[in-house]
Structure 1
Amino acid sequence: MSTEPISSSERLITSLFAGAIAGAIAKTTIAPLDRTKINFQTQNAQFSFREASYFLAKTYRQNGFTSLWRGNSATMARIIPYAAIQYSSHEQFKHLLRVETNAQKKAKPHRSFVAGSLAGVVSTMATYPLDLARARMAVSHHDKYHNLLEVFIKTIREEGAFSLYRGLVPTVLGVIPYAGSSFFTYETLKRLHYDYYGLNEPHPTLRFCFGAVAGLIGQSASYPLDIVRRRMQTHRGYTEIGILGTMKKVVLEEGFIHGLYKGLSLNWVKGPIAVGISFTSFDIISNFLRTVVYQPFVSSSSHPQR
């Protein structure tokens, strides 16, 4: 097996593939919980695990088991390019900001946070209309939108093309602490493991735990802005009053905790699972591509038999 370091372009290609697969696996796993969260985020209704369970049961009884994954096709259309761009751009930002060596990480830990935040912003800007379409499919009846394309057509026809970017500002503001703290926490925990165990790679179970902690911190850091973006994405009237106006309206009508942190407890369940699966899958798949598949192929191509 080749141990030669891969080039920047090879790292980009492998991180694109690994990120796409990791994102798809993670989001499909927690899709029913994601739909439940969005439903409560966009409604003036009290959240509890009992009510969340009732929503899942009611959805199953009325529309069948597969309805729990309604909107997942839109999620896949978004998350595959989103995760591919996020992970690959994170790799590039880590290189540009020089956070790849242990010594630099210890001396400049904020660079890991900045690299994660920039990766989140780039991927969010590139795929935002797909996120809005996914949210609308998740909270609407199946008769309103039959597929992803219909969401775009009806939204543009009824509200204009710019409505596809409704809620973009709070989303970008929210992804900065979310992506930054998630990547920073995961990378820091891996570095601490390296400092203690040397060259030993973390076990997949341990990687999942690191990712779960990262997801828990990231979700908690940005959740109120997640509430704001969902309201602006799925309800008319919120875009006009802006981020602060939306927050004020939610707090006045539903209370500070019950309004801006509605569904956070559910996110503490699904978020760590999703982020843990995503980070673990990315590490395993990218390492496989770089050491088992890609390098031997490159090595044999570079050194043909005579």
Structure 2
Amino acid sequence: MSSDASNIRTADQVIRSGIAGGVAGCVAKTVVAPLDRVKILFQASNPEYQKYAGTWSGAFRAGMRIYRDTGVLGLFQGHSVTLLRIFPYAAVKFMAYDQVHDLLMPTRAHETNIRRFSAGAISGAISVLFTYPLELLRVRMAFDTIHGSASGKPMRPSCLRTARLIYAEGSAQPSAVPITRELFHTFPLLKFYRGFTVSLVGIVPYAGTAFLTWGYLRAAFVPVGPNGRPRATPLADLGIGAFSGALAQTVSYPFEVVRRRMQVGGLTQPGRWLRWGETVRAIWTRGGARGFFVGLSIGYLKIVPMNAMSFAVWQGMKRLLDL
């Protein structure tokens, strides 16, 4: 009887942990959605916006151009897919982190930096595996611009239209690499995993560093109450989350740039699956070492408040849900 009750409580805690993480992710992403749109345009070298890249003022001017051309909705283009993706992504990530954390570090005495890093990296990898196709849809919609339709009216990219375009890529290009064409023909859903390998590799340093820094700073600066739980305030959560995000962004940013280029490769070379090597060489040829950090300044502008809000709302939701 008690064993069953314990299992029910554990399942209930897992569900509440997922809800807390999902809500935190949605709030954080909504706060920085306009910056995210501009950053994707810069990273993927959209020809219409590349002239603005490289400066803070350029990011502002790019945002103003989007607003002038398409209004407020243009700044949030692709955000509906972002929310569809971020809730399960953040829910799985934070839920997995809680479980892996308890497994690797059942008590504070077991907490080490390598275990903190491992818990974050594992949870990040699990979340990417399950939600990557939605991430690809979001990037494609953010990268795309308004097109004219047969009726002459501007046609805004939609989730369904973008998914259809991705699914159809490579179906009629005779010059495509044979192996890639065969893969696309046999496993068409692979088209929704363009850039997945570099994303999976990139999430390890990002999530690992973020949760390592988060755990280390909380252990070092947040006092523990009589019940053994950290007595963090929302302000402390915001500050630690912001610093964790900035450090994680710096470590993993080159992977993110390569991933974005591979994700939008279907638009520039629809019949091919861009590989790591050629993508890295293309970035190096065009911009050298700085090419791997294009948009990093706006990345900080986005990631610092996003991570601050994400960690703070996550902790606030956990307190609200009695976790």
Q: Scaled by the length of structure 2, what TM-score is found?
A: 0.82
Of 127, 135, 141, the match for 2:139: 135
Paired residue for 1:152, among 138, 155, 163?
A: 163
1:263 correspondence with 2:267: no
The share of aligned pairs that are identical, in percent, is 32
What CA deviation, in whole Å up to 9, does each residue of 1:268-293 have, x standing for no partner?
Answer: 121111011001101111111126xx
Task: Say which of 11, 14, 17 aligns to 1:15.
Answer: 17
Of 266-275 and 118-127, deviating more is 266-275
Rounded to whole Å, the distance in 1 between the matches of 2:230 and 2:82 is: 35
2:100 corresponding residue in structure 1? 93
Residue matched to 1:38: 40
Please point out which of 242, 254, 257 is paired with 1:227. 257
Instruction: Determine if contact 2:27/2:309 at 8 Å carries over to the other structure.
Output: yes
The residue aligned with 1:301 is: none
Note the 1:45-84 alignment, pairs <5 A: 45=50, 46-84=53-91
Is this contact kept in 1: 2:137–2:162, CA < 8 A? Answer: yes
**CA pair 8-193 structure 1, distance change in 2 beyond 3 A:** farther
Alpha-carbon distance in structure 2 between the residues aligned to 1:72 and 1:240: 26
Change (3 A) 1:200 1:260: closer
Structure 2 unaligned blocks of 5 or more: 1-5, 148-154, 171-187
**In the aligned structure 2, how far is the partner of 1:151 from the partner of 1:240?**
17
Computed over aligned residues only, the root mean square deviation of the Cα atoms, in angstroms, reads: 2.0
User: C-alpha distance in 1, partners of 2:222/2:55?
Assistant: 40
- Report if aligned partners of 2:223, 2:232 keep a CA contact under 8 Å in 1: no
Superposed, which structure 2 residues align to 1:160-199 within 5 Å?
160-195=188-223
What's the offset of the Cα at 1:197? Answer: 7.5
* In structure 2, distance between residues paired with 1:200 and 1:247: 43
Q: Could you say which residue in structure 1 is the equivalent of 2:109?
A: 103
Match of 2:311 in 1: 279
- Letter of the structure 1 residue corresponding to residue 197 of structure 2: V
Q: Is 2:31 the partner of 1:29?
A: yes
* Greater shift in the superposed pair: 192-201 or 11-20: 192-201
| Larger helix percent | 1
Report the more deviating stretch, 49-58 or 115-124: 49-58
- Report the residue type matching 1:152 in the other structure: A
Counterpart CA distance in 2 for 1:203 and 1:241 is 46
Aligned to 2:238: 208
Given residue 52 of structure 1, which amino acid in structure 2 is its aligned partner? A
Where does structure 1 lack aligned partners over 5 or more consecutive residues?
292-306
| Deviates further, 266-275 or 158-167 | 158-167
TM-score (norm 1): 0.87
Deviation at 1:109, TM superposition (A): 2.2
CA distance in 1, matches of 2:101, 2:203: 17
| Aligned AA (1:150) | R
Structure 1 SS opposite 2:275: helix
Question: 1:256, CA displacement in angstroms?
Answer: 1.1
